[in-house]
Amino acid sequence: MAMRLAVWWVRLVYVAWMVPAGLNHFIQLYPQPTGNQDMSTGVFLALIDSGMFTLVKAVELGAGLMLLFGWRVPLALVMVLPVSFTVWYWDTELQGWWTPSAIYGWGVLGCNVFLLYAYRASYKTMWEGYAAPRWPWHKVQPGEAQS
């Protein structure tokens, strides 16, 4: 029961964080932090100016909505992991390990990793017991071995 409640709390917090954070790039809800160190600001502005930040925020918003509406949650958690990692890296290594920024970084990555752990049963087949690869257009014939 404790694990179940913890999963629900983390998921609610994570969703309520990610959806506005992703949406904020497309519809400004609050000023976007651009960093207060040379390196963090440089990376952030390069991502914004190049358009890559739009890709990042689209993934964040999409995954947030998937979690909010309970649609393919394990996929959403995997999709957003690179974003969570980059947020964590930016908030800690680039902004400073002992800054308020770092707390947000640890929070975002921590929620993502905790939920990945909670849904670990969904990822088992990626590691073991998977079928042999076959061409996507190849249909399995009756009696043909699955693996």
Partner 1 sequence: MMRPLDMLRLALGAIMVPTALAYFLPDLLPFVRTATWEGAMAVRLMDQLDASGLLAVAKFVQLVGGLALLLNRAVPFALAAMVTVNVCGAFVAVIIEGAPGLSVLALGVLALNALLMFAYIEAYAGVLANGALADGEEEEPGANYNSLFVNPLAGASRKQLLVALAPLLGAAWFFWQVVLGLNSLTGLVVLVLPALVWLVSFVRAKG
Q: Which residues contact 114 (CB under 8 A, 6 or more apart)?
A: 6, 7, 10
Closest distance to partner 1 from the beta carbon of 14 (Å) = 9
Q: Which residues bind partner 1 (CB under 8 A)?
A: 1-9, 11-13, 15-17, 19-21, 24, 29-30, 39-40, 42-43, 46-47, 49-52, 55, 68-75, 78, 82, 85-86, 89, 93-94, 115, 117-127, 130-131, 133-136, 146
Closest distance to partner 1 from the beta carbon of 140 (Å) = 10
State the DSSP code for 93.
I
Closest distance to partner 1 from the beta carbon of 24 (Å) = 8
Closest distance to partner 1 from the beta carbon of 75 (Å) = 5
Closest distance to partner 1 from the beta carbon of 59 (Å) = 9
Asked if 131 and 146 touch (Cβ cutoff 8 Å), the reply is: yes
Q: Which residues contact 124 (CB under 8 A, 6 or more apart)?
A: none
Name which of 26 and 123 has its Cβ closer to partner 1.
123
Using alpha carbons, list the distances in angstroms from residue 107 to 27, 100, 140, 146.
24, 11, 45, 42
Name which of 51 and 143 has its Cβ closer to partner 1.
51
- Residue that is written with structure tokens 């952030």 in the block: 44
Name which of 26 and 130 has its Cβ closer to partner 1.
130
Token pair of 46 as six digits? 């390069």
Name which of 2 and 144 has its Cβ closer to partner 1.
2
Name the 3-class secondary structure at 19: helix
